[in-house]
Structure 1
C-alpha cells in the first residue's frame, strides 16, 4: 500500500514535494502582506518582525480551505517552505535599510557629507540596484553555519522552534525525536498504522508477532480518531473566526483613525504631559498585537526605557538647559538628547553580548575537542537535501562581487573606495556569525547593534577628512546589518525545517525566491510611501534613521550635545554590566528565573528612542499575553489561539495602511 507522508521517518521527509508552484505563490502573497505591514511599522518606530508564526498560520489556513481542490495534500514540510518565502519577502524593509539607512541618506545627510556637494536622492532604479547589492551575501553566510549551530550544538533558536511547534500542531504531527529516525504521531493514529501493517505483513518469517486488536478495539480507536479530528475542526474554525474578527477590528481602526487623527494620540495622562513630554497613547490594535507577540518581559523593558528616557532624562535635560529646543526636535530638543543615551545602551548591550557569546562558544568548542567528543552526525540529512559546498563558495564570491560592483555603480570609487566595500563585506561575515549565535541563544538578532559596531570600526578605517566619510560609514553599516539580518532569518527558518524534517536545500531556494521578489516590491513600496506621505513627520518619525546618521557623525568627529557624553557613558557601563551578568548566568538554573528582572539593553534603547505612545500600546499587549497564557496553562491550544488573535491585529492595520495611503494620495478630507 502507499505510505502516507506522516508515516515517513524523519530522514525521508525531505523527499516530500516542497518546491511547488502553489507554495511559491502562497509564500509571495503572504510575504507581500507582511512587507507592507513592516514598512508601516518600520517607518513609524523602526521595529520590523519576521512574522514567521503568522506566516505559517496563514499558509495553513489558505490550503486548509482549498484542500478539496488540491491535487495532493498540503504537508508540514511544504508549510515550512511557504513560511520561509514569506519571511524572506517580509523582512526586506529592514534587510535593505529602507526604514533606516536609506532614509538617513536621503533625509538627513547634508550636501557636504555626501562627497558630491548635493543632497542624495534614490530613483526606483537606484533602489533596486541598492537592494540587489545587499540582498544575497547574507544568505550564503548562513548556509555553512547550519551544521555547527543547529545540528552539532543544537542552539535553541526559540522563534524557529516555536514555529516548528505551531506547524506540528496544525498538521497533527510532532517535531523530530532525538534519534532523528521517526516522527511521533498521536497515539490513536499509531495504533491504527500498526493494525494495517499486520494485515499486510502477516506473522511468518520468524519475526515477532504483533497482535491485531479485536474488532471492538479497532472500532473504539476509529471512533476516538474521528472525535479527535472533529475537535480539531472545531478548534480550527474557532481560530479562523478569531483571526477574521481581530483583522476586522484592526482594519476598522486604521480607516477610522484616518478620518479622526486624534485617535492616534490620546492624552491619557493629561494635556500638560502630552504637550510638553509626548506622553500619549496610540490605541493601535497592531501595536497591541506586536506586544502580545513580544511577550510581557520585552515590552516591560521597553516601558522602563520610556519612563527612563521620556519621564526622567528628557525633563532633566530640558530643565538643565542641555536641550532647550522643542521636545520633539531631533537636533536641539530633549528627543535628540536622549537619543544618545539610547544609542549608548544598545551598543553596550550588543557588544558585551557578542564578546560573551564568542568566548563561551570558543571555550565550548575547544573543550569538546580536547575531551575527544566529536559532534554526532546522527541528526544530519542525506547530502542530496543539503546545499553543497561548491554552491556556497561560488554564491558567496558572486554575491560579494555583485555588492561591490553595484555599490561602485551607485556612488563611484571616489566617494566609496573599493577597499572599504571589501572590508565591509569581510566584517559583515564575522558580525553575522556573532549575530546568528546571539539569535540562537537569546532569540534576539541585534542587527541594530551590529550596524553600529560596524560604523564604530569603520571610523578607524576611513580617514575623517575623506569627502564622503559619513556616507561611507552609513554604507558599511548597511552591509553589516543586511548580512546579519538575512543570515539570522535563514537560520531561524533552517531550525524550523530541521525540527520538522524539511529539506534545507528547499529552504535555501525559498530564501532566494523570496529575496528576488522582495528586492522589487521593497523598492516600489519605499517610493510609494515617500510620494504619498511626508517623511519624516509626526506619523512617520523614522527614528532609526536619526540614530544611523547621528552615529555616523559621532564616529567621524562631530560633537555631542552638552553632557550627553557623560550621561550616555554612565548608562553604557550600567547596561554593559547587566548584559554580562545575563549572558554569563543564562544557563545557571539557580539564578535563571531571576535574570528576567534585569532589563535588556536593546529593548530599553528602543523604549527610549520611540515616543511613549507606541510603547504603552505594546505594553498593553504584553499584559494581555501574560494573562492569556496563564489562564490557558501555557497549552499548545492557548498559544496557538493567542498567535491567531495577535496576527489578525497586526495584519489588519498593516494591510489596510494601503487604504489610508490611497485616501491620502486622493486628498480625501479628514478632521
Structure 2
C-alpha cells in the first residue's frame, strides 16, 4: 500500500491543495462552474508540478546510480576488448558479445537517423538528435534496468527519465532551431520516444533475465528471443495504436472526440514539448514542482539515514501529481485491498506454513489483478474494431446516464470484493 498511498498523496497535493491555493490567488475570471474550472486549472497549470518533480526525480535516479552506471560501462568496455566471443566458463553467464551489441546499435542508428532527417530536413540537427538519443538512451536504460532489477518493474523511472529527456532536448533544439520551428516539438518527442522505449525495454529485459537466472536459463538465448519480441511488438503496436486512434482518438476530450483515450503521460509530454517552443509552458509550476521533488528527496534521504523501513520515492509522488485524480484513486483502492489482505494474513498467523501461505496468497492476488489489466486491454482492442467500422462508440451502450454510473460503481465494488476473496481463499487453502 506504500506506493499506492504515495501516488494518492501526489494527487491530493494537486487537487486538494494546489488547485484551491491557485484559485484563491487568481480567482475565476471566466465564471466557469466548479468542475470545469478545476479540470481546466489542473490541465493548464497544476499538472506541470509533476513535470518539475519528474525531472528532479529522473536526474536524481541518474545521480544516485552513477557508480553502478560507471561500473557497467567499464565492464562493457572490458567485454568488448575480449576476443573470446561466446566462450565462457559457465553456461548461465553466457551473454551476447559486446561487439555484437555495439554493431547492432550502430546499425539501428541508421533508420533512426533517417526518421529524424525526414522529419527535420536538416542533416546537422538530425545528427545531433541521433547523438543525444544515443547518450540519453544508454544512460537512462542503465538506470531503468538497474532499478527494475534491484526493486522491480514498479520502480522503473520511465516517466521521469522520458520527461527529463524531452524537456532538455526541447530546450536544446529551441536554441538551435528558434521558437518559430514548427517541427521542433515533434523532434523532441521523437528523441523522447526512443529513450522511453529503451528504458521500458531495459526494465522488462532485466526482469526476464532475473527469472531466467533463477531457472538456470542461458542469458544469450534469452537475449536473442528478447530481440525477436521487440521486433514483433514494433510490427504489431503501430496497427493497434492506429486502430484505437481511429475508434476513439487520443488526448483531451473534445466535441470531435467525446470518447478520446486520455493517455495522460503522452499528453503531458506533448504539452511540454509544444510549451517550450510556443512559450506557453508554465515555468513557475515546473519550478515549484522541482522544489517539491527536492523536498521529497531530502525527506527520503533522512529516512534512509535513520534506517527507517518507510521510504518516500520521489517518482511515486511525482506520478500522482500529474495523473488524473481518478487514476490516483483507483491505484489507492488497489493498495487498500492488498492492505486488507495483509491484515487478514497477520490475524491468522498461527501456523508454521504462514510464510508459504502468505506468499501463495500474494502471488494469486497479483496474478488475478494482472489478468484484469491484461483482459481489459485485450477486450478494449477487440471492441475498437467494430467501433472503428461503425464510426461511433455507443455501439455497446446498454444503460443510459445516470444509471450507467451506478451500475459501474456496483461492478467495481464486486470486482474489489472478488479480488479480496480470491487472495484470502488462496491463503486459507495453502495454510490448511
Deviation at 1:390, TM superposition (A): 3.4
Q: How does 1:586-597 map to 2 (within 5 A)?
A: 591-595=307-311
Equivalent residue for 1:428?
Answer: 137
* Candidates 124, 145, 164, aligned match of 1:453: 164
Deviation at 1:513, TM superposition (A): 1.6
Residue aligned with 2:65, SS: helix
Instruction: Provide the C-alpha distance between the structure 2 equivalents of 1:380 and 1:490, rounded to a whole number of angstroms.
Output: 23
Structure 1: which 5+ residue stretches go unaligned?
Answer: 1-295, 367-378
Equivalent residue for 2:359?
Answer: 636
Deviation at 1:318, TM superposition (A): 2.5
Instruction: Provide the C-alpha distance between the structure 2 equivalents of 1:422 and 1:507, rounded to a whole number of angstroms.
Output: 28
Aligned: 1:601 with 2:306 = no
Deviation at 1:338, TM superposition (A): 1.0
Aligned: 1:526 with 2:241 = yes
Instruction: Provide the C-alpha distance between the structure 1 equivalents of 2:206 and 2:268, rounded to a whole number of angstroms.
Output: 27
Q: Deviations 1:53-74 (Å, cap 9, x if unpaired)?
A: xxxxxxxxxxxxxxxxxxxxxx
Q: Deviations 1:335-380 (Å, cap 9, x if unpaired)?
A: 32111111111221221222122157769999xxxxxxxxxxxx97
Deviation at 1:619, TM superposition (A): 1.3
Deviation at 1:438, TM superposition (A): 2.9
Residue aligned with 2:147, SS: helix
Q: Deviations 1:261-302 (Å, cap 9, x if unpaired)?
A: xxxxxxxxxxxxxxxxxxxxxxxxxxxxxxxxxxx1111111
Which structure has the greater CA radius of gyration?
A: 1
Equivalent residue for 1:102?
Answer: none
Q: How does 1:652-667 map to 2 (within 5 A)?
A: 652-662=375-385, 664-665=387-388, 666=390, 667=392
Instruction: Provide the C-alpha distance between the structure 1 equivalents of 2:119 and 2:8, rounded to a whole number of angstroms.
Output: 41
Cα pair 1:350 1:449 within 8 Å, conserved: yes
Equivalent residue for 1:472?
Answer: 187
Q: Deviations 1:198-251 (Å, cap 9, x if unpaired)?
A: xxxxxxxxxxxxxxxxxxxxxxxxxxxxxxxxxxxxxxxxxxxxxxxxxxxxxx
Cα pair 2:48 2:285 within 8 Å, conserved: yes
TM-score between the two structures when normalised by the length of structure 1: 0.48
Instruction: Provide the C-alpha distance between the structure 1 equivalents of 2:18 and 2:329, rounded to a whole number of angstroms.
Output: 18
Equivalent residue for 1:204?
Answer: none
Aligned: 1:308 with 2:13 = yes
Aligned: 1:490 with 2:205 = yes
Equivalent residue for 1:334?
Answer: 42
Distance 1:629 1:323, change over 3 A: same
Aligned: 1:514 with 2:229 = yes
Deviation at 1:478, TM superposition (A): 1.8
Cα pair 2:170 2:185 within 8 Å, conserved: no
Equivalent residue for 1:646?
Answer: 369
Instruction: Provide the C-alpha distance between the structure 1 equivalents of 2:96 and 2:176, rounded to a whole number of angstroms.
Output: 42
* Candidates 428, 438, 448, aligned match of 2:147: 438
Distance 1:539 1:402, change over 3 A: closer
Structure 2: which 5+ residue stretches go unaligned?
Answer: 75-87, 254-258, 346-353, 401-432
Q: How does 1:11-410 map to 2 (within 5 A)?
A: 296-321=1-26, 333-359=41-67, 381-382=90-91, 385-410=94-119
Deviation at 1:655, TM superposition (A): 2.1
Residue aligned with 1:564, SS: helix
Cα pair 2:69 2:142 within 8 Å, conserved: no
Instruction: Provide the C-alpha distance between the structure 1 equivalents of 2:299 and 2:280, rounded to a whole number of angstroms.
Output: 28
Instruction: Provide the C-alpha distance between the structure 1 equivalents of 2:61 and 2:283, rounded to a whole number of angstroms.
Output: 29
Distance 1:541 1:533, change over 3 A: same
Instruction: Provide the C-alpha distance between the structure 2 equivalents of 1:580 and 1:572, rounded to a whole number of angstroms.
Output: 12
Q: Deviations 1:385-434 (Å, cap 9, x if unpaired)?
A: 43223322321221222322343345533695222222321232122223
Equivalent residue for 1:3?
Answer: none
Cα pair 1:302 1:607 within 8 Å, conserved: yes
Instruction: Provide the C-alpha distance between the structure 1 equivalents of 2:168 and 2:284, rounded to a whole number of angstroms.
Output: 24
Instruction: Provide the C-alpha distance between the structure 2 equivalents of 1:459 and 1:310, rounded to a whole number of angstroms.
Output: 28
Aligned: 1:542 with 2:263 = yes
Deviation at 1:580, TM superposition (A): 4.4
More helix per residue: 1 or 2? 2
Cα pair 2:93 2:218 within 8 Å, conserved: no
Equivalent residue for 1:419?
Answer: 128
Residue aligned with 1:302, SS: helix
Instruction: Provide the C-alpha distance between the structure 1 equivalents of 2:386 and 2:344, rounded to a whole number of angstroms.
Output: 41
Distance 1:607 1:457, change over 3 A: closer
Equivalent residue for 1:244?
Answer: none
Deviation at 1:578, TM superposition (A): 3.5
Deviation at 1:555, TM superposition (A): 4.5
Instruction: Provide the C-alpha distance between the structure 1 equivalents of 2:38 and 2:51, rounded to a whole number of angstroms.
Output: 14
Cα pair 2:212 2:218 within 8 Å, conserved: yes
Equivalent residue for 2:350?
Answer: none
Instruction: Provide the C-alpha distance between the structure 1 equivalents of 2:382 and 2:278, rounded to a whole number of angstroms.
Output: 44
